[in-house]
Structure 1
Amino acid sequence: MSDADMMQLYSKRILALAADIPHLGTIESPQGSAKRRSPQCGSTVTAHLRMENGRISDFGQEVRACALGQASAAVLGQNVLGASRDDIERGTRELTAMLKENGPVPAAPWDGLEVLIPARDYPNRHASILLAWQATLEAMDQAESG
């Protein structure tokens, strides 16, 4: 990867998101918690949540990932409260399509993921970018079954 490619991939906007991830840490008495790890790079994200009437009412995340994974977690964190399972599934599906199939930028409220378009060309980073989303869905499964 050239220096120019690295500069584009880790743009100022990505680094700004990575530096300001909403809902960092755990929450009190989560109904669901799930940890996801990327075997390629070792990045991990753990999501903790509480749900009320089918929507996320409290959320915390522990993010140990590259700047791209952190930026993705930041966009998720900005919009996660009040989100339903359908909302998170749609965001995950649209983010995956954007990265792996040159799909469009996810629809609002996930349109901030547009910052990750340069990561399309780096498939080895996709797993880290998707961790927060996958952990959140898994935590929702746990909350809904408990």
Structure 2
Amino acid sequence: MSDFGGDLRELYQEVIFDHNRNPCNFHAMADATNTAEGYNPLCGDQLTVYLRTEDGLIADVSFVGHGCAISTASASLMTEAVKGMPVAQAEALFNDVHAMLTQTKPQGRDFGKLEVLAGVREFPARVKCASLAWHTLHNALVAARETAQTE
């Protein structure tokens, strides 16, 4: 039986819809130090993540693209979460969010607003939508040249 109750499900839907309608940090960044492309071939979600790093910190982060509500909301929440964060900490957060989306919530991690993304586990076909922005962030952090995919 699921531990994702009705109140949490309503919060999940509200946050997803809000971040889809009004995504945070949704713009191209001319002075980005790192960029990465992401693509989900199953549903056609596409995005570009822009990072500007300074002294080991993510000084600024943004994204552009198109996709479903979950994909856009996840990217918006991601940019809010990692802005100002040390690069190494953002990479650790990527790993923990991936685990939360695909397995169970890592113990001892306070996800804050990102906690609502745990609701995606209730819809296995949508996990890849929620994880695309995070895989793209990872590629930007490590300066990978290939397009991030969820397949």
Category of TM-score, reference length = shorter chain: 0.7 to 0.9
Question: Are the equivalent residues in 2 in contact too, given 1:94–1:106 (CA < 8 A)?
Answer: no
Write the distance in 2 (CA, Å) between the matches of 1:20 and 1:87. Answer: 26
Match for residue 55 of structure 2?
53
Match for residue 37 of structure 2?
35
1:104 CA drift (Å): 4.7
1:70 CA drift (Å): 1.6
Matching residue's letter, 1:141? V
Q: Deviations over 1:24-79 (max 9, x none)?
A: 11111322111111122111121111110111112220131211112211211212
- Relative to the length of structure 2, the TM-score reads 0.77
Match for residue 3 of structure 1?
none
Q: How large is the Cα RMSD of the aligned pairs?
A: 2.6
Match for residue 136 of structure 2?
135
- Relative to the length of structure 1, the TM-score reads 0.79
Q: Deviations over 1:95-116 (max 9, x none)?
A: 22222212258834x4212212
Match for residue 104 of structure 2?
102
Question: Are the equivalent residues in 2 in contact too, given 1:32–1:49 (CA < 8 A)?
Answer: yes
Q: 1:92 to 1:106 in 2, by over 3 A?
A: farther
Q: 1:106 to 1:81 in 2, by over 3 A?
A: farther
Match for residue 4 of structure 1?
none
Q: Which moved more, 1:98-107 or 1:87-96?
A: 98-107
Question: Are the equivalent residues in 1 in contact too, given 2:26–2:76 (CA < 8 A)?
Answer: no
1:91 CA drift (Å): 1.9
Question: Are the equivalent residues in 1 in contact too, given 2:74–2:130 (CA < 8 A)?
Answer: yes
Q: 1:106 to 1:137 in 2, by over 3 A?
A: farther
Write the distance in 2 (CA, Å) between the matches of 1:119 and 1:13. Answer: 12
Question: Are the equivalent residues in 1 in contact too, given 2:12–2:116 (CA < 8 A)?
Answer: no
1:65-104 aligned within 5 A: 65-104=67-106
Provide structure 2 residue ranges, at least 5 long, that are not aligned to the other structure: 1-8, 145-151
Q: 1:15 to 1:55 in 2, by over 3 A?
A: same
Write the distance in 2 (CA, Å) between the matches of 1:70 and 1:105. Answer: 27
3-state secondary structure, aligned to 1:142: coil
Provide structure 1 residue ranges, at least 5 long, that are not aligned to the other structure: 1-6
Kindly tell me the number of residue pairs found equivalent between the two proteins. Answer: 137
Percent identity, aligned pairs only, is: 28
Q: Which moved more, 1:46-55 or 1:117-126?
A: 117-126
